[in-house]
Amino acid sequence: MQILNHANYNFLRWKWHAIALSAAVILGGLAMIATKGLPLGIDFSGGTLIVVQFEQPITEEQVRNAVDPLPGEEVVQQYGEVSERRMLIRLPQTEGAVEGNSLEQASMQVEQALAKGGLPKFTIVNRELVSAVIGRDLQLRGIYATLASLLAITIYIGIRFRFSFAVGAIVATLHDVLVTMAFLVFFGYDLSLNVVAAILTITGYSVNDTIVIFDRVRENLRSRRREPLDKIVNESVNQTLSRTIITAGTTFLSVLSIFLFGGEALRGFAFTMLVGIVSGTYSTIFIASAIAIILSAGTARRTAAAASPTDAAAGQGGKKQKRARAS
């Protein structure tokens, strides 16, 4: 069976459209972050998160009314299925909290408020209290880890391939991180530790596809020195296209199973991975190679001039040549 038999699409023709689309998504995300702030979960902002299991059915509204008198802005959300009767209550880090017992204070206040509010009996199934000190520490680590990962991967690709490829790969990866963040903001997911773990995994994963294509480009460059780079890149993208789509598909399917069956705790993680996988595949095909070519445009033009009069003609000619070779 074959999904794509002898794929031959001129992806590079769409490079500017693709870049514009990506820019729109990323700028949209950045604009939302700029106006509403980065949606940091309590892992990074510090604060209190409690998941309460009620013995009787209850609505978000009832819980919200009960905890409303407390200082700060409480977030009340249904946690998991309605039938599980669980509510998530989140409070931000209280400003100027006193040292000592302050960590537990907010959680005790919530428990008291719920007990007084005439609500059904409840038990606490999950409680996370994070102080600002730890939050700041994790923030730094998150930023450091993401940057270090990008840098290390750039260096590795720079050593194994050429510099312009490394830049292409890293721009594509950065693109995936930003697109993923944008979608997290659009869909109202908080940046939790799990989500950041997923983003880091994406940096490693999304560069995989790019490496596969670049490997093929290198191989083709070796055997066909005379042809222009953009044509070789485009052909390499096509040659590896079915592999790119199949592996993205299988990874997508397995992560989808986490999203569907993995429970509430892994939902943010799975969502991040799903967006990252789609974005990674898209950026591999449209962004990474485009950047690599734009960056090596100087060399590409020079060789292209020898083969055909213009870049556009080189793309057109590529199609015919490929058919000729296949027969």
Partner 1 sequence: MKDIRWRIILIAVVIGLSIWSFYPPQTKVKLGLDLKGGVHLVLRVHTDDALRVETETTVERLRDSLSRAGVQFAKADVVGPTEFRVAGIQDDSGYRSAAVDADTNYDRSSETGGYTYRMKPNIAIQLRDQTVTQALETIERRVNELGVAEPVVARYSGQDQILVQLPGVEDVRRAKEIIRSTAQLKLTLVEQGPFPSREAALQAFNNNVPSDAEILPGRQEGGGTAGTAGTVFYAVKKASAVTGRDLRNAQQSIDEFNRPAVQFTLKQDAAGRFGNFTQANIGRPMAIVLDNRVMSVATIQGRITDNGQITGINREEMIDTVITLKSGALPASMDYLEERLVGPSLGQESIRAGFISSLAGLGFVVVFMVFYYKLTGLNAVVSIITNLIILLGLMAFMGSVMTLPGIAGFILTIGMGVDSNVLIFERIKEELATARGVRAAVNAGFDRVWWTIVDTHVSSLIAALLLLQFGTSTIRGFAVTLIIGLLSNVFTAVFVSRTAFEMILNRRQPAAQTLSI
CA-CA distance, 320 to 171, in Å (whole number)?
Answer: 31
Packed helices 60-67 and 102-116: angle between N→C axes, nearest 10 degrees: 120
Task: Output b/e per residue, 258-291; b: 16+ Cβ within 10 A.
Answer: bbeeeebebbbbbbbbbbbbbbbbbbbbbbbbbb
In the set 23, 24, 82, 124, which binds partner 1 (CB under 8 A)? 124
Q: Binding to partner 1 by residue 109, rule CB under 8 A?
A: no
Residues contacting partner 1: total by CB under 8 A: 71
Contacts of 196 (CB under 8 A, 6+ apart): 43, 142, 145, 146
> By C-beta, is 62 or 242 nearer to partner 1?
242
Report in angstroms how near the CB of residue 212 gets to partner 1 at its nearest. Answer: 6
Q: Binding to partner 1 by residue 258, rule CB under 8 A?
A: yes
- Interface positions, 129-158, toward partner 1 (CB under 8 A): 129-131, 133-134, 137-138, 141-142, 145, 148-149, 152-153, 156-157
Q: Are strands 75-78 and 86-92 parallel, antiparallel or unpaired?
A: antiparallel
In the set 103, 221, 278, 307, which binds partner 1 (CB under 8 A)? 103
Report in angstroms how near the CB of residue 34 gets to partner 1 at its nearest. Answer: 27
Q: Which of 190, 200, 171, 206 is nearest to 288 (CA)?
A: 171
> By C-beta, is 138 or 294 nearer to partner 1?
138
Report in angstroms how near the CB of residue 150 gets to partner 1 at its nearest. Answer: 9
Task: State the DSSP H helix or E strand holding residue 77, giving kind and residue range, or none if neither.
Answer: strand 75-78
CA-CA distance, 151 to 202, in Å (whole number)?
Answer: 14
Q: Which residue has the tokens 């070789």?
A: 232
Report in angstroms how near the CB of residue 102 gets to partner 1 at its nearest. Answer: 8
Report in angstroms how near the CB of residue 199 gets to partner 1 at its nearest. Answer: 9
- Interface positions, 25-54, toward partner 1 (CB under 8 A): 51, 53
- Interface positions, 215-234, toward partner 1 (CB under 8 A): 215, 219
Q: Binding to partner 1 by residue 205, rule CB under 8 A?
A: yes
Q: Binding to partner 1 by residue 253, rule CB under 8 A?
A: yes
Q: Binding to partner 1 by residue 254, rule CB under 8 A?
A: yes
- Interface positions, 60-89, toward partner 1 (CB under 8 A): none
CA-CA distance, 257 to 251, in Å (whole number)?
Answer: 10
> By C-beta, is 1 or 298 nearer to partner 1?
1
Task: State the DSSP H helix or E strand holding residue 36, giving kind and residue range, or none if neither.
Answer: helix 15-36
In the set 252, 301, 308, 316, which binds partner 1 (CB under 8 A)? 252
CA-CA distance, 300 to 317, in Å (whole number)?
Answer: 15
